[in-house]
Amino acid sequence: MGDTVRAGEVIGRRYTLIRTLGTGGFGQVWHARDEDLNVDVALKQVRLPGPVTPEEQRQRIARAVREAQHAARLRDHPNIVTVHDAFEYDGSPWIVMQYVDGHSLADELRQHGRRPIDQVTRIAEAVLSALDAAHKADIVHRDVKPANVLLASDGQVLLTDFGIAVAPTDVRLTAASMVIGSPGYVAPERLQGAEPGSAADLFALGVTLYEAVEGEPPFARQNPVAALTEEPRPPVHAGRLGSLLLSLLEKTPAGRPDAAAARVLLRGDQDTSGTATKVITTERPPEKPPERPVSGESATITSDRMATVKTRSTKVADFLCQLLGWLGVAIGLVAGLSGKVLISGEGVFVSCVIFCSAGAIGGYFCGWVLGAWDALFGELDSLTVSPSGLTVTGEVADMYKWDDLKNVRLGRSGGRVTVVVTVRPERVSDTEWRRKHPAKIDKAGTIKIFVGRGIPASEAGRVMTALSNHAGTLYSGPSSLP
């Protein structure tokens, strides 16, 4: 039952199936349309392989409900796909999830091969952050792999498919002999029959990151239990990620760092000797906001003086040209309607045209003079990326602390690049904060930061490096510009 659905079918009276996004051992995921809310969603049909008894059917429906409950506890995390609802249709449980416009890391590796270290570092930080939150909520993912790491088109990295996730208080719904997970990513202790634990998620992440940066898995593909019997191949392309990968691929669970300690290793903390063991063997501290690396130099991008003259002069000239032009029209109309023609021998219409033209030309000239004066003797537009945040000077001077931001990325239009920041929701709703930050902010909390007409593409590399160094997980890419 429930296995013959096809594109165009309406599920649960409101979700129209569009296309399949992927199929796994525990379900099939569809791109669908929520007709009630008029938004795209992802629908996961949860199923067990082979024939099932009525009791097994009841259990898998219970599993689907439990998955939704688990994922709902993590719905506010920026690196975890949101689960909205769960329901039964035609004998199968279905999960309604956030639709992510993008593709999986598995697709990325199939199309482009091994990825740059900077990109893999950001993926590692995002997934470790997601696993850290899940493990602190006593939830184990149990199927971390490239297919379950989504790379959104806006640069965000999200962990999805908690479909076989389990909390310690759950009644076990799978057979005792059944090893849950994808071949090649299952931890050695799971192959030996041990209960799933958070350390197994870290091992699977180690395999995933190794494959991403090296272009091949750390163990032979043809041997499904290679993780139990073989040592991982020494990484060749991993660079600074090498030590983290090998620590995650330790055979024994106690030898691996947990998610919090792995994030410390990822950031290159100089005092990592013994730190990982301490985090593993002691009680977890209260959750803190994501830390950010402080290594690397600040980067300041300043606009060219003559480019600033052109930008500001054109802006002021356009404004005054329109203002004085319409003022000229108004003068001509008022004079004509009152019976007074200000220009001897000319009608009202011609008078309006003359006054409009004079105002426009005069306004444009005055605008260029005012704009040039400001640009020649005023402060240039600049952007500084530092450990404290983003500092902007020029026409709109401002300072955005990292703690005020939810996300930072780069946008591109032609040969110019813009820094796009998304402000945390609590700051957007804070009237006092918005009063102190005069830049234009939209309803989603997005602000576009220009340097003159934009950051020259030739300077974007320094900005990206500084953002990677100082913004940490807030920076969602890109790692390079085409």
Radius of gyration of the chain (CA): 29
Number of helices (H) and strands (E) in the chain: give both, helices first.
14, 17
Give, as one character, the DSSP assignment of residue 437: -
Determine the Cα–Cα distance for residues 148 and 428; give it in Å rounded to an integer.
32
Q: Cα angle vertex 240, ends 236, 242, to 5°?
A: 50
Element housing 409 (H / E): strand 405-413
**Residues 143, 161, 201, 381: which is the catalytic one?**
143
Whether the CB-CB separation of 23 and 44 falls below 8 Å is answered with: no
* 11, β-bridge pairs: 15
- Return the percent helix, strand and coil in the chain, to nearest 5: 40, 20, 40
Tell me the CB-side half-sphere exposure of residue 364, using CA atoms within 13 A: 8
Has 85 been annotated as catalytic? no
Determine the Cα–Cα distance for residues 220 and 231; give it in Å rounded to an integer.
10
| Residue 168 preceded by cis peptide, ω within 30 | no
Give, as one character, the DSSP assignment of residue 232: P
Buried b (16+ CB within 10 A) or exposed e, 11-21: beeebebbeeb
**Coil, strand or helix at 472:** helix
Cβ within 8 Å of residue 165, ≥6 positions away: 67, 70, 71, 134, 139, 140, 141, 142
Secondary structure of 69-105 in HEC code, one letter for each residue? HHHHCCCCCCCECCEEEEEEECCEEEEEEECCCEEEH
In order, the DSSP letters of 47-65 are: --SS---HHHHHHHHHHHH
**Coil, strand or helix at 252:** coil
**Coil, strand or helix at 152:** strand
Laid out side by side, the sheet with 10-11 consists of 10-11, 15-24, 27-34, 39-46, 92-98, 83-89
Catalytic residues: 143
